[in-house]
Amino acid sequence: MTLRVARDGAGAGAAPASAGAGEPEYVALAGVTKTYRRDGRETHALDAIDLSIRAGEFLAIVGPSGCGKSTLLRIVAGLHLGTSGETRVAGRIVDRPQTDLGIVFQSPVLLAWRTAIDNVLVQVELRGHDPRAYRDRAQKLLEQVGLGDFADRFPHELSGGMRQRVAIARALIHDAPLLLMDEPFGALDALTREQMRLDLEALWLATRKTVLFITHSIDEAVLLADRVVVMSPRPGRVERVFTPGLPRPRGLEARRAREFVDTTEAITDIFLARGVLHGAGRAGGAT
Ligand SMILES: Nc1ncnc2c1ncn2[C@@H]1O[C@H](COP(=O)(O)OP(=O)(O)OP(=O)(O)O)[C@@H](O)[C@H]1O
Ligand SMILES: [Mg+2]
């Protein structure tokens, strides 16, 4: 699988929400809607989503709170079913919880009574495998996320960023081709968040997983993704898709690149036009 850094888009211009012709689609949503019904009340969360993610692509979704981002991720994972439409992963229709993927949520949800490495190994135990066979791999993954010396620490001995790194290692232990991340850095301070962003890009470049990454941060989306999907307020629709053609690794310098500035401004303008952001001048720092 080759690294796909899209350079064909017009930078701050729009791009299709589906993979180009001839490109293998790993995740494909066609006309997916979701309406939650509870106690006679309805919430129309998603409105006809057509979206695909190529194998090995890093796709980010940015959108206002409540627009259905987590709903969409859960539909891809098979944790929720769409009300209509069709979702496929690796060509197969998703109609039940999927096991061949890793998920990282905003909060790491570690087991307090297990060490870091044993938290990573939970994932293989749940799949009925012998954790002893995965111990070396778990240690290596912890090293890759910068926690080589912390394998035997308990969650309360780790910082928030470290805990989230354990959760990332846990999502990768079974080497699933698809990684779903739902605001994985949302609870972190700005500096840790920037470092996690840099480390995630390095990890992705090394593993070439297909990634669906959800964030509220426009900067983070543009700095990490091959394509950035901008969603409208609820009911969530694909408002526009951007293809930041920044060279990789994007590191810290990418923030100064013309294309980064143009793309983040274009996305900010969409949120201003939609009333998601308010402000007299440009909403600087509105990430
Ligand atoms: N299990 C559920 N039952 C009923 N309504 C739900 C459920 N999950 C989500 N919703 C509703 O669906 C809408 C979309 O929720 P969702 O969590 O997908 O949004 P989101 O874009 O992830 O928001 P945020 O950015 O705040 O995490 C919201 O109005 C929410 O109240
Ligand atoms: Mg959410």
* Ligand 2 centroid from CA 70, angstroms: 4
Cα distance between residue 160 and residue 107, in whole Å: 9
Note whether 72 and 226 are within 8 A (CB).
no
pLDDT of residue 10: 37
Residue 286 belongs to a domain: no
Final residue belonging to a domain, choices 159, 176, 193? 176
Residues having CB closer than 6 A to ligand 1 are 36, 38, 43, 45, 63, 65-71, 234
> Which tops the pLDDT comparison, 80 or 19?
80
**Confidence band (pLDDT; 50, 70, 90) for 275?**
confident
pLDDT of residue 14: 56
Residue 126 belongs to domain spanning? 107-176
Ligand 1 atom index nearest CA of 63 = 21
Average pLDDT over residues 9-20: 54
State the Cα angle at 22 between 16 and 25, rounded to 5°.
65
Residue 270 belongs to a domain: yes
Q: Encode pLDDT of 58-80 as tens digits.
A: 999 999 999 999 999 999 999 99
Tell me: do 213 and 157 sit in the same domain: no
pLDDT of residue 280: 62
pLDDT of residue 264: 97
Residue 91 belongs to a domain: yes
Report pTM.
Answer: 0.89
* Ligand 2 centroid from CA 61, angstroms: 11
Residue 161 belongs to a domain: yes
Residue 213: exposed, middle, or buried by beta-carbon count in 10 A (0-12, 13-18, 19+)?
A: buried
Token pair for residue 182? Answer: 């739902």
Ligand 1 atom index nearest CA of 216 = 25
Q: Encode pLDDT of 92-108 as tens digits.
A: 999 999 999 999 998 88
> Which tops the pLDDT comparison, 74 or 283?
74
Q: Which amino acid is at 115?
A: T
User: How far from the centroid of its chain's Cα atoms is residue 158's Cα?
Assistant: 23
Residue 146 belongs to a domain: yes
Residue 287 belongs to a domain: no
Cα distance between residue 119 and residue 169, in whole Å: 9
Residue 182 belongs to a domain: yes
CATH number of the structural domain spanning residue 273: 3.40.50.300
Does the pLDDT value for residue 285 go beyond 80? no
Does the pLDDT value for residue 140 go beyond 60? yes
Tell me: do 20 and 86 sit in the same domain: yes
Domain count, the chain: 2
* Ligand 2 centroid from CA 182, angstroms: 7
Ligand 1: which residue has its CA nearest to atom 12? 45
Q: What percentage of the chain reaches a pLDDT higher than 90?
A: 74
* Ligand 1 centroid from CA 231, angstroms: 14
